[in-house]
Every structure is written in structure tokens, then in C-alpha cells.
Chain A
């Protein structure tokens, strides 16, 4: 899961009520809504390595 950094408190609280306190997710700077397609692509490129690392870490676990 990738969450914009304005929603960290809510995301953490959500993880807790769903019985997964400390659930790991990635963040991207807020805001996202107004980004152009190209800017979204840049964000994706910037975070791709972290996404891969998180997915493979979970797989190995």
C-alpha cells in the first residue's frame, strides 16, 4: 500500500482497528490529486525500488 503522507495518522489508526498494528506501507508526498500524468509517472519511478523491496521482503518472510 502507498499512502500520501498527509494520511499517516489515519492509516496507522486504521491498521490498528483492523488488528494489524504497525502494518508497513509506503508513503509519497502529499498532494497527489493535482499531479499530471507525467508527474505521477515520476513519483512511481521514484518509489518503484521501495515497492519492490517491500514486496520481496514480505515474500521472504
Chain B
């Protein structure tokens, strides 16, 4: 086949996809059987394998359906093992299994990639990790969103009950900047072999930057983070899980001052929280018995105004990642929607994709 592709034909196919209700509002890539076969050739998994079943909706997503949606999202076929691993990783999250995808919170999957696959697929790990501009970063999380919509029927206004949602809900995916991080990669911390290509994923609720180019004192810097990590607005239960995507400059400053990743987590465990007066002012000072301890406004004072409530119960509640450019001391605080599985999923690699015959 030679010559330029026909844009009118392409548009016709794109409009057809809109008419079927297959898109998230942006155009999708129309998928032919040969394109689907190329995706399936990148995994050893059976196209008929059920990735996940939502029993209450009576719907499931197979490897084949995932491949169609990854292709529609604009992924290249070689991204497909990563899409599958990202799905597996997020579904280790208790909240994702328990109906989190349909929550009024509209949580966003945060997808973090480690290992050599970052270079092989040209995944952005440095400048603009939360911004657009890189194909795998933009299309891999979009694939998960399309799987939710098209395989499970979880679309806004019906089964997706999102009140407002999170900006960039289906666009948060980046590689860890291992090369400029002073600490071990996230996947290594989670127990995988050093150098493994892996993905870690959890559902998240908010993102808020910490811009601190103002101090060389690590305690002052950590206090600035603690203030943002300790917001009351996002506090629903007794405690909450929140993490930091440190820019290399902040991470290096802390490491140079002698802080390991665990030291930073331990500092946050001790210092992130609010006083009784703060919680009372926000109408969140009472905690119900049992379960996760839902918060509400109490009718009378429960504790001295200066009593301190820490939010985190252990290192598992404070994920730390290093990513972004080394050009400024700007990091991002994020809040975990429920509870991160604290694990990473190795990415399957099919070095020589098998002949594109599967799933035909």
C-alpha cells in the first residue's frame, strides 16, 4: 500500500466509533482485525482469558477486549503487556475490587513504571510527567478508562457515579526517574529483582503540588510537605493514605541530608496529621466505631484542642516515587483512594511476537 492515507475514510471510521458510544469524548483509533492480531501477538496470554469480572454488573473483560480498547486508546501493540500488567496491578487494590471504579469520588489510576521498559517504549520519566506529550504516558491509562467504559459499561451518569472526578483521570502514567533518584526504584522496594520491568498502580483522589525552592533545611522542607499531606478536606475516615512524587531535586536534598526513603516515610508517619482543634473546625473530629472509622462532627469536645491525630499507620500508607525533571524543586502530593496493595507487577515481555494469528 502506498500513498497518503485517506483522511476522509479515517474520519468516517472515527465517527462510526463515536456513534457506537465507544469513546471517552476524544477520537479513538478504529480497530481492524489485523491491528488486533498485532496486539495479541505481544502477549502469551489467551485472548479468551477473563482479566476481570464484575459479578454485580454481569460483565467481564477478556484479554481480547482489553487489546481492542488499548488499540482504540492509541497504544502501540508493544504497549499491550504493560496495559495488562497495569490492569492487574490496580486490581490488587481492595478499593478497585470493591466498586471503587463506580465511586462518587471518581478515583484515577496512578500508573508508575520501573525498569528498562521505560527506555524501550520511550515512556516519559522526567519533564512533564503529569502533562501531555508522550504517547505511552497518554494512551496506557486511557486504555484502562476505555476498558471500564466498553467492557464493563462503567460510563459517566449511569454506572460511573462520579460527582466531579479528578482532572486527568485517565492520563496519569509515567516512569520513575530511576536515573536521578537517590533511592531504590519503587518496584525494587516492593520486592522485585533490581532492574525488573514492572508496573505499580493504585487508585488516587487528589494531586497538589509542593513548590519549595526556599530552604536547604530538610526539616523545613518536610514540614512543607506535611502541611499539604495533612489536609482535612480529603479526610473521610480515621486516617488516610497519601504519597509524594518527589522531583529529583527534593529527593536528592533529603538523601544528601542522610534520609533514606524509609526515613522520609517515618518522618511523615510521625508528623502528618492534624490537631483536634483543626479537625473540630472542619467538622471531622468524631470517628465512628469499627470499620475504617468514618469521620463526622462531634457534638461535644472529645479531646484537648492540641491533641494530635496522625493520619498514617505505617510505611505502607506513604508511597514515595521520584519522577520529573531536575530543573526545579517542585513535587506532587497525591492521595490514595483506599489502600494501595504495596506491590508491583512484572511486565511480561514477548521478545519475538508470534505470528499474528491469535484471536482471528
Interface residues of A (CB under 8 A from B): 7, 9-10, 13-14, 17-18
Binds A, one of B35-43, B155-163, B259-267, B319-327: B155-163
Interface of A is mostly: helix
The proximity string for B residues 239-253 relative to A, scoring 1 for CB distances below 8 Å and 0 otherwise, is: 000000000000000
In contact, B58 and A10 (Cβ under 8 angstroms): no
In contact, A17 and B57 (Cβ under 8 angstroms): yes
The proximity string for B residues 151-186 relative to A, scoring 1 for CB distances below 8 Å and 0 otherwise, is: 001000111010000000000000000000000000
Question: Beyond A14-B56, A17-B58: 15 further Cβ-contacts under 8 Å?
Answer: A7-B161, A9-B157, A9-B158, A10-B158, A10-B159, A10-B161, A13-B158, A13-B159, A14-B57, A14-B159, A17-B57, A17-B59, A17-B153, A18-B56, A18-B58
Q: Which residues of B contact A7 (CB under 8 A)?
A: 161
Q: Which residues of B contact A14 (CB under 8 A)?
A: 56-57, 159
Q: Which residues of B contact A9 (CB under 8 A)?
A: 157-158
A-B contact pairs, 17 of them (CB 8 A): A7-B161, A9-B157, A9-B158, A10-B158, A10-B159, A10-B161, A13-B158, A13-B159, A14-B56, A14-B57, A14-B159, A17-B57, A17-B58, A17-B59, A17-B153, A18-B56, A18-B58
Please, which residue of chain A has its CB at the minimum distance from the CB of B59? Answer: A17
Q: Which residues of A contact B159 (CB under 8 A)?
A: 10, 13-14
Cβ-closest 4 pairs across A and B? A13-B158, A17-B57, A10-B161, A17-B58
Give the Cβ gap from A27 to chain B, nearest Cβ, in Å.
15
Interface of B is mostly: loop
Rounded to whole angstroms, the CA-CA distance of A17 and B153 in the bound complex is 10
Rounded to whole angstroms, the CA-CA distance of A17 and B56 in the bound complex is 9
Give the Cβ gap from B105 to chain A, nearest Cβ, in Å.
13
Interface size for chain B: under 10, 10 to 19, 20 to 34, or 35 or more residues?
Answer: under 10
Q: Which residues of A contact B59 (CB under 8 A)?
A: 17
Give the Cβ gap from A25 to chain B, nearest Cβ, in Å.
16
In the complex, chain B residues 217-248 whose Cβ is within 8 Å of any chain A Cβ? none
Rounded to whole angstroms, the CA-CA distance of A53 and B56 in the bound complex is 28
Please, which residue of chain A has its CB at the minimum distance from the CB of B57? Answer: A17
Rounded to whole angstroms, the CA-CA distance of A18 and B158 in the bound complex is 14
Q: Which residues of B contact A10 (CB under 8 A)?
A: 158-159, 161
Rounded to whole angstroms, the CA-CA distance of A41 and B234 in the bound complex is 29
In the complex, chain B residues 49-103 whose Cβ is within 8 Å of any chain A Cβ? 56-59
**A9, A13, A17, most chain B CB atoms within 10 A:** A17
Give the Cβ gap from B158 to chain A, nearest Cβ, in Å.
5
Give the Cβ gap from A38 to chain B, nearest Cβ, in Å.
11
Rounded to whole angstroms, the CA-CA distance of A38 and B237 in the bound complex is 22
Rounded to whole angstroms, the CA-CA distance of A7 and B161 in the bound complex is 8
Rounded to whole angstroms, the CA-CA distance of A10 and B56 in the bound complex is 13
In the complex, chain B residues 1-16 whose Cβ is within 8 Å of any chain A Cβ? none
Rounded to whole angstroms, the CA-CA distance of A17 and B158 in the bound complex is 12
**B56, B58, B59, B158, most chain A CB atoms within 10 A:** B158
Give the Cβ gap from B177 to chain A, nearest Cβ, in Å.
40
Give the Cβ gap from B298 to chain A, nearest Cβ, in Å.
12
Rounded to whole angstroms, the CA-CA distance of A9 and B160 in the bound complex is 11
Rounded to whole angstroms, the CA-CA distance of A10 and B161 in the bound complex is 8
Q: Which residues of A contact B56 (CB under 8 A)?
A: 14, 18
